[in-house]
Amino acid sequence: MFYYYDPTYILLIIAMIISGWAQAKVSSTYSKYSRVYARNGRAAADVARAILDYNGLRDVRIEHIRGNLTDHYDPRSRVLRLSDSVYSSTSVAAQGVAAHEVGHAVQHAEGYAPLKIRNMIVPVANFGTKASWIFIILGALMGSMGLIQMGIIFFSFAVIFQLITLPVEFDASNRALAALEGCNFLVGEEVKQSRKVLSAAAMTYVAAALTAVLQLLRLVLIFGNRRD
């Protein structure tokens, strides 16, 4: 008995390996440096508040949310949310993550172009992510290349979102490290340790972008030569 072999499966395997490695890297790096406490002895939330105030963002609130590394900045409500593992921690890892989210708040206040573009395409990217597979599956079942192509176009919006996310995240990390060092929250080796945490976190976004690109490439390879 012969089984159908799809060579594009190798792209899925590569994507899984990249994603798994990135997640393992950020988890291990954060775990390591969450046990290294900054000499300033301040909680990450206090550091974030100080950097926000320094940048004139006193109207941005800081909230404590549940979870592990679920930290994010919400531009709609102008709220910076820090997770259980970050909010009260005095580690160089937690302070780096908190400062990174402050970086997004500063980007928002300054009208940082890549962030504005990313925020604008969020609805389109979300729709594309959900609708793409519906169109692709229906197109395959109905033998309609037109539906399949529409699904691929919708999926490409999600890929574009992932690619635009990269400069936004790297810039936020650069702002975070500059603020932590410039305001003397972290000094010497602490800055390098915090940079390692943020670099590992950035790799998860790189992995997500590569995974999206590989998935798009696989769709093009599978359906690219088909006709209705």
Domain boundaries, the chain: 9-223
Contact 171, 112 (CB under 8 A): yes
- Over residues 158-186, the mean pLDDT reads 95
Supply the pLDDT for residue 4. Answer: 52
End-to-end CA distance of the chain: 30
For the entire predicted model, the pTM comes to 0.88
Q: Active site residue: 101, 169, 181, 190, which one?
A: 101
Quick check: is 181 catalytic? no
- Over residues 137-161, the mean pLDDT reads 91
Kindly tell me if the per-residue pLDDT of 5 is higher than 70: no
Q: Give 47's contacts (C-beta < 8 A, 6+ positions apart).
A: 40, 95, 98, 99, 180, 185
Strand order in the sheet with 61-64: 61-64, 79-82, 72-74
How many whole angstroms separate alpha carbon 141 and alpha carbon 59?
Answer: 53
Contact 195, 38 (CB under 8 A): no
- DSSP letter assigned to residue 56: T
